[in-house]
Amino acid sequence: MIVMAAHATQEQVRAVVARIQSLGLSAQVNRGAERTVLGVVGHESESDLDALGLLDGVERVVRVLHDYPLASRDFHPEDRVINLPGGAQLGGPGVLVMAGPCAVESRSQLQAAAEAVAGQGVKVLRGGAFKPRTSPYAFQGLGGDGLKMLRAVGDDLGLAVVTEVLAPEDVELVAGYADLLQVGARNMQNYRLLQACAQVDRPVLLKRGMSATLEEWLQAAEYILAGGNLQVALCERGIRSFEPLVRFSLDITSVPVLKRMTSLPVVVDPSHAAGRYEYVKAIGLAAVAAGADGLLVEVHPNPSEALSDGAQSLNPKAFAELMGGARKVAEAVGRQIT
Ligand code: PEP
Ligand code: MN
């Protein structure tokens, strides 16, 4: 990491970046409120680093000893903010709720779910078009048709849309319809997919692998950041534990721990952790209290007929109750649901 002096000029920053590139290294620039920090990635030598430290405008060169330099708070001390169309903001002062069905099943199902969540003030619609199902015999999603429905319903109601991308070769297609790309738990360490997500101009919501440590997760995020896409948010969705009565165990501690390690926005998905609709509100509120920057919630107009994850999906009434509770908890911790 190269910390520029507070008085360093743009010209000096440009000269340092050019020198970094001439050494065959790459530089990510964070222009902070106080000063500019350059994250240098590559296999640099000790003498190269010493030489960079002598350039005009450089205050100091800091070796970052952990494995996620660009994700770390050292590189970007201020909380990072992702702006989505329609004024939705992830990582800002508000807590952003993203909600909708697990899977896009039909235009009418999606429309009903979208109206229910928009009616609660939600600005981001979720819905899976490509579904990573455990069983190859389960509903796999509507694919391209689902993406089109998502975009049409989102545009109709003025909602941004988030949807999962499963494969590197689908990234461009999905980016053509979605405002936020979701990488699912099962793909957190699909490095080719992460690299492909770095190539498009769309923010990425990276879910935690169900057995991933926080450092493994941040290194996965690092693949996207190092590839040149600095718009990454993390989503805790529960980890495998020895407890069979819930689908996963929500690691609520990950929220404050991540907040120290990284300035990337941290979202919590209480639906996949709980596995049952009865528990979604309680752990969703706990996430807001713990400092999450957003919630990702599954809502279905008629959960008993859902083609995937019906047991954990909230109906519109239960979702309204979650939102009511979340508003109170957010206020209690000095934030607002957006
Ligand atoms: C989903 O959001 O529908 C999903 C498949 O989630 P996860 O990757 O967390 O299992
Ligand atoms: Mn789901």
Domain chopping of the chain, boundaries: 2-61, 82-337
Ligand 1 atom with least separation from CA of 187: 8
DSSP state of 209: P
The pLDDT, as a whole number, for residue 151 is: 98
d(CA 4, CA 24): 20
Which whole number is the average pLDDT over 135-148? 97
d(CA 151, CA 177): 6
pLDDT digits (tens, 9 = 90+) for 273-329: 999 999 999 999 999 999 999 999 999 999 999 999 999 999 999 999 999 999 999
Binned at pLDDT 50, 70 and 90, residue 33 comes out as confident
- Does the model's pTM come out above 0.75? yes
d(CA 14, CA 4): 11
Q: Domain 82-337 classified CATH 3.40.50.720?
A: no
User: Which bound ligand lies closest to the C-alpha atom of 267?
Assistant: 1
Burial of residue 218, with CB atoms counted within 10 A of its CB: 0-12 exposed, 13-18 middle, 19 or more buried: buried
Taking 3-state DSSP, the helix, strand and coil percentages for the chain, each rounded to the nearest 5, stand at 40, 20, 40
Q: Which residues pair with 94 in a beta bridge?
A: 336
Ligand 1 atom with least separation from CA of 235: 9
CA of 3 to the centre of ligand 1 (A): 38
The pLDDT, as a whole number, for residue 177 is: 98
Which of these ranges, 17-26, 180-189, 251-260, 297-306, has the smallest mean pLDDT? 17-26
pLDDT digits (tens, 9 = 90+) for 233-270: 999 999 999 999 999 999 999 999 999 999 999 999 99
Higher-confidence position of 129 and 42? 129
Q: Is the CB of 76 under 6 A from ligand 1?
A: no
CA of 134 to the centre of ligand 2 (A): 11
* CATH number corresponding to 2-61: 3.30.70.1140
Smallest CA-to-CA distance from 258 within 211, 290, 210 is with 290
The pLDDT, as a whole number, for residue 49 is: 86
Same fold, 2-61 and 82-337: no
Binned at pLDDT 50, 70 and 90, residue 65 comes out as confident
The pLDDT, as a whole number, for residue 44 is: 76
